[in-house]
Structure 1
Amino acid sequence: MTGKWKTLLGTVTVGATLLAASVTPIETEAASTDKAYESTFNKQITSTIPLEDEQEVQAFLNKKKAQLDIGEPVELKFVTKETDEVGMTHYTFQPTLEEVPLDGAKLMVHTDGDDHLIAVNGALHTDSPRQASNTKVVSSEIAKEAAWNSIDVTRDATDESLTSPIGEVTETLKESSQLVVMVQDGDYKLAHHIQLQFTTPYPANYQIWVDAETGDILKKMNKVHEATGSGTGVLGDTKELKTYQSNGTYYLYDTSKPMTGVIETFDNNQNGQFRLPGSYVTDRDNAFTSSRQRAAVDAHYYAGQVFDYFYDTFGRVSYDDNGATIRSSVHYGSNYNNAAWVGTQMIYGDGDGSTFTALSGADDIVAHELTHAVTDESADLIYENQSGALNESFSDVFGYFVDNEDWLMGEDVYTPGVPGDALRSLSNPTKYDQPAHMDQYRNLPNTEAGDYGGVHINSGIPNKAAYVTIQSIGQTKAEQIYYRALTSYLTPTSTFQEAKEALVQSAKDLYGSAEANAVTTAWNDVGVQ
């Protein structure tokens, strides 16, 4: 199997940029106030009148495309308008070329409670041509067939259904196709973006781009999120569980959360073919105390804990904020030294007893992986180079927010025979061979061997910035700032500099200059000026 797995160990990139420093100031024609409300991300972007709705925002952007440095052929399609808890409104636009979405691109406009411009950020495509370099000849169905032919499994082998204890049937295969403009080495090509998500015969979340003219595969990755972590339940502690009774049998199946879906847990039974999700974990007396059940107990409990954290802290309803089911499978594979978010569910290996013990007992790792799911549903940070390092870093940071007993990742299950060992440290990244400053940044190739530009290596830099931030202003404020930046400001191709600006703006939105200055100082300390 080939593809890109998001691992704790360890897309076409459409350049996202903040507004260029050379841009001239922008004002709307009729001024109703003497004050110019500037873009925080670039002080030269101003508006002197309110922008009250998406039509006015779009008219503003379209009229000032040249000054904004948006490529002239690029059109902006309105996607969403959201007003948050502090009264700010966030408008999202999809850049298009000849009415076809530019893959991985997003432009955002942010206004305050009085509809004045606060910030503009996202992908600009200053050098886009007037049309794609190819034409659409291949249909979406033929492109899907090409995508299936490019991987090592047939569609029939992945297409299974699952029946829950309350009789609901879920299909484990999901596939979709979208015509996009893909940018590769400056070439703008029409491509079918094919997504193939399945759990049998192995977990996969394939993202495949097929040339819309030739049917060739332009790019392919298996966008599965993997991780490792720590847990106490696997070591013998007792937890209270939410279960479901049906016909005298109790299931690890939690319907108590304020969500449309459920939290459910399966046993993969070390299936050599990695068939997922497996069988429901059940018990006759509702006491899940056998050694075989320990991994499932922790997976089930911590999934609920992470749901509660995001719901209680931010009002987010499951990873998609729409109540999606959280499914976990334990005893995955044989001596599998990892855990993963596979796009539709979590999987947990038992470890080999030397490198790792059973991984599902790790609350910070469950949080790390489900934060990948949150990221997929919000900023959708592309998993390569700096955006990929941010993807990893935000998962580490929220892993800390859930399990804040120390600054380590993976210490409880990694090398169980070595006390105090860990995979990473937010407070001291260099202890585990990560850079902690831009002077130490590693320019690695965007290949599997190069960790896709060092996503697990260079994440030490934003991790250290997060540590300094939390030490300065405390977790309560820091977690709100980080969540707001992730869900309101970051875009798929955000860089470290743009993450800094998004976090500074989030601090200003929520708290004020003191907290914003603390965030600025933290990122300055790691060399992101």
Structure 2
Amino acid sequence: MNYKKITSALLAFGLLCPLSTEAIHAQEIDKNQVQVEVAQPGLTIGKLTEPQNDTKENIAKKYLKGEVQGAKAQQEQVTTEKSVDFQLTNKETKENQTEVRLTQTYKSYKVYGQDLIVKVDKNGVITTVSGKVVQNLEKQPNLTITNFLSKNEVKSSLRNTLQIPNDALEKEFASETVIYKKQDGSYTYADVITFTYENNDQIISGHAIIDLIHGEMLFQEKMIKNKEQQPVKQAATPQLFLAKEQGTGVNALLENVLFNIAKGSDGKFYLADLTRGNGIYIYDANYADSKGGDSQAGYPGTLVSSKTTTFADKEAAGVMKNLSAIYDYFKTQHNLKSYDNKNTKIVASVHGFDSTEVSDGVKTDYVNAFWHPAWNQMVFGDGLNGKLTSAIDVTAHEFGHAVFSGTTKNNVVKYPSDETNALNEGLADFWGTQIEFYVKKDKGNWIMGDTLGGLTIRDIPNEIGDGGQKLYTNLQDFYKDGNSQESHVNSGIISHVLYQLAEGKTYNGVTVAKQGNDKISKIVMRALQNYATSAEDFDSLHSHIVQAAKDLYGSTVAKEVDKAFLAHGYKALPQTNKVIEVQKGN
């Protein structure tokens, strides 16, 4: 009978130890050279195994399960629990290595949102492991329970909680049982559900997560589309072609703007840019009520058109101009095509509305914009005389949410922790500022929404958040009593770090050398594309960004990056770290 023996070894390394990925691959293979060069929270780099003769997927799995003889690893990145395994979710070639992404499973159920990245070189040597393995699942009381809600009980709970009308027929019900981490830190069995119900009046669809042990609704997202009793006949959508002429318009700030447009087979011009990836399309939602994101009825709306190349809709013109610049920024500066590097179609709706956020009921008073991941689109309200649609940083912020999801290959319906939510929000602010600098050059700034005429969304330098409240910028604030864990409030815990680095500011008595926007944005993008996972937390993003800085610019820059994190209350990255050496025997 096989068994695994794990012994501990202390690994010493310096923060400023230079790392060259190419140098690792170029080294002559020597069985005695297995070593770790970097061992920090959620990140291990080096020549972590001897050459392995197997598929890249199996090599990665065996490493994470502690089954590779002589491998070096951090305890948080391996497990020997018999019921734990790993499933492949994505595999691609990056920098002459195979990047394997896997999700952790327990008793064949996926651990919700818990994925890891393993990079394997051409010789079958593991060089990088990013992410964390959930430990000690066998000690979780809920996971020893085998008697949980039946499928019919789950459906009944779903209908009752979401108030699905009795006459609505089930058209779709897909569920996956997962291991889910609750707010109190415990793990339970839960069903992640995709549903659609339909009656004569409505189509009700969405996602939900239900605790299978206690029947608790852990997450819900309901979208409603109203059916028209007497459908209005509409002309078929015309075939679109790239127009030779550019479109013109005036945005809500009374600025003249130019943008690419399409010409339809009906002779009209449309706000569709067919030159950028699979297109940028701007729709008029005509104030359809999104009801807090629950109702998709009326979205995306009608593709904005004009009989001439001049578009009178100032909100639509503003968004098209902004999204063109945003697409160009990510492609030219980071070689990122659309938000997921797959040139996915970009969709936005203007003249949006949400009755849950407008107290006076006036549809043109909706002062907000949002990215809806289930709809894969952005929505903009008309509030502040349409100025939201002309604010490049606001549009870029919403697009930044899509970038976070796209680069981390995220396919969950809810991020697994409040830390991930805060990082997602803070990085969206960061991209908002970076694209404003890209468009406005020296007139850019670190204030979100500074063109909105008195409404400041977030002032990162002055630590001011929504509505003038405190923007938390120190990691210790995240754990204080009274912190509601609202992601916008905690967004400064990462955005202010990046502000300090880009501008070379002093914070909490710590001064860092100015790195500039171009350098810091490239560091962040490398971290997102190479190290960040769906379950990114504060500690892991710290080590991932420092490593990305070292990869691109060397140890001196990496040291400055680390100083900024430490100034904001992050834990010091270990200079000696405990690793394990895997041994197998009979």
Q: TM bucket by the smaller chain?
A: 0.7 to 0.9
Q: Which residue of 2 aligns with 1:382?
A: 415
Matched, 1:106 2:106: no
Please tell me the residue identity of whatever aligns with 2:309. Answer: N
Q: Relative contact order (alpha carbons < 8 A, sep ≥ 6): 1 or 2 greater?
A: 2
Asked whether the 8 Å contact 1:268–1:276 carries over to 2, the reply is yes
In the superposition, relative to structure 1, how do residues 364 and 156 fare at CA in structure 2: closer, same or farther (>3 Å)?
farther
In the superposition, relative to structure 1, how do residues 203 and 486 fare at CA in structure 2: closer, same or farther (>3 Å)?
farther
Q: Which residue of 2 aligns with 1:393?
A: 426
Q: Which residue of 1 aligns with 2:253?
A: 235
Deviations along 1:30-70, one digit per CA (max 9) or x if unpaired, are 96243613343269987252468332232222235995552
What percent of counterpart residues are identical? 24
Deviations along 1:317-348, one digit per CA (max 9) or x if unpaired, are 22232232211111112111100111221111
Matched, 1:251 2:270: yes
Q: Aligned partners of 1:94 and 1:387: how far apart in 2?
A: 17
1:428 pairs with one of 462, 472, 490: 462
Shift of residue 145 of structure 1?
7.1
Shift of residue 513 of structure 1?
1.1
1:150 pairs with one of 150, 154, 161: 161
Shift of residue 295 of structure 1?
0.2
Q: Which residue of 1 aligns with 2:535?
A: 493
In the superposition, relative to structure 1, how do residues 368 and 132 fare at CA in structure 2: closer, same or farther (>3 Å)?
farther
In the superposition, relative to structure 1, how do residues 254 and 23 fare at CA in structure 2: closer, same or farther (>3 Å)?
farther
Alignment of 1:302-317 (within 5 A): 302-317=322-337
TM-align CA RMSD: 3.8
In the superposition, relative to structure 1, how do residues 391 and 196 fare at CA in structure 2: closer, same or farther (>3 Å)?
farther
In the superposition, relative to structure 1, how do residues 483 and 222 fare at CA in structure 2: closer, same or farther (>3 Å)?
farther
Q: Which residue of 1 aligns with 2:515?
A: 473
Deviations along 1:140-182, one digit per CA (max 9) or x if unpaired, are x9856754553356699999xxxxxxxxxxxxx9985433222
Shift of residue 251 of structure 1?
1.1
Report the secondary structure of 1:347's partner residue. strand
Task: Select between 339-348 and 87-96 the one with higher mean Cα deviation.
Answer: 87-96
Residue correspondences, number: 462
Please tell me the residue identity of whatever aligns with 1:483. Answer: M
Task: Select between 97-106 and 308-317 the one with higher mean Cα deviation.
Answer: 308-317
Task: Select between 472-481 and 123-132 the one with higher mean Cα deviation.
Answer: 123-132
In the superposition, relative to structure 1, how do residues 383 and 406 fare at CA in structure 2: closer, same or farther (>3 Å)?
farther
Q: Aligned partners of 1:307 and 1:504: how far apart in 2?
A: 27
Query: Where is the strand percentage greater, Structure 1 or Structure 2?
Result: 2
In the superposition, relative to structure 1, how do residues 70 and 264 fare at CA in structure 2: closer, same or farther (>3 Å)?
same
Q: Aligned partners of 1:143 and 1:324: how far apart in 2?
A: 34
1:78 pairs with one of 88, 101, 120: 88
Shift of residue 372 of structure 1?
0.7
Q: Which residue of 1 aligns with 2:218?
A: 219
Asked whether the 8 Å contact 1:336–1:350 carries over to 2, the reply is yes
Q: Aligned partners of 1:510 and 1:441: how far apart in 2?
A: 30
Matched, 1:408 2:447: yes
Q: Aligned partners of 1:440 and 1:240: how far apart in 2?
A: 44
Shift of residue 217 of structure 1?
4.5
Report the secondary structure of 2:314's partner residue. helix
Q: Aligned partners of 1:241 and 1:365: how far apart in 2?
A: 19
Asked whether the 8 Å contact 1:38–1:118 carries over to 2, the reply is no
Shift of residue 24 of structure 1?
4.3
Asked whether the 8 Å contact 1:103–1:182 carries over to 2, the reply is yes
Shift of residue 112 of structure 1?
6.7
Matched, 1:443 2:475: no
Q: Aligned partners of 1:311 and 1:156: how far apart in 2?
A: 49
Matched, 1:41 2:40: yes
Q: Aligned partners of 1:408 and 1:444: how far apart in 2?
A: 27
Stretches of structure 1 that go unaligned for 5 or more consecutive residues are 1-21, 160-172, 225-231
Shift of residue 461 of structure 1?
2.1
Q: Which residue of 1 aligns with 2:387?
A: 358
Matched, 1:123 2:132: yes
Stretches of structure 2 that go unaligned for 5 or more consecutive residues are 1-6, 12-28, 68-72, 224-249, 291-296, 354-362, 438-443, 504-513, 572-586
Q: Which residue of 1 aligns with 2:240?
A: none
Asked whether the 8 Å contact 1:23–1:69 carries over to 2, the reply is no
In the superposition, relative to structure 1, how do residues 150 and 311 fare at CA in structure 2: closer, same or farther (>3 Å)?
farther
Task: Select between 121-130 and 276-285 the one with higher mean Cα deviation.
Answer: 121-130
Highest CA radius of gyration, 1 or 2?
Answer: 2
Asked whether the 8 Å contact 1:365–1:410 carries over to 2, the reply is yes
Q: Which residue of 2 aligns with 1:61?
A: 64
Q: Which residue of 1 aligns with 2:506?
A: none
Q: Aligned partners of 1:202 and 1:484: how far apart in 2?
A: 44
Report the secondary structure of 1:81's partner residue. strand
Shift of residue 364 of structure 1?
1.3
Q: Aligned partners of 1:299 and 1:524: how far apart in 2?
A: 38
Report the secondary structure of 1:528's partner residue. coil
Q: Aligned partners of 2:553 and 2:209: how far apart in 1?
A: 42
Please tell me the residue identity of whatever aligns with 2:263. Answer: Q
In the superposition, relative to structure 1, how do residues 176 and 515 fare at CA in structure 2: closer, same or farther (>3 Å)?
farther
Q: Aligned partners of 1:378 and 1:49: how far apart in 2?
A: 30
Shift of residue 402 of structure 1?
0.7
Alignment of 1:152-171 (within 5 A): none
Report the secondary structure of 2:489's partner residue. coil
Report the secondary structure of 1:331's partner residue. strand
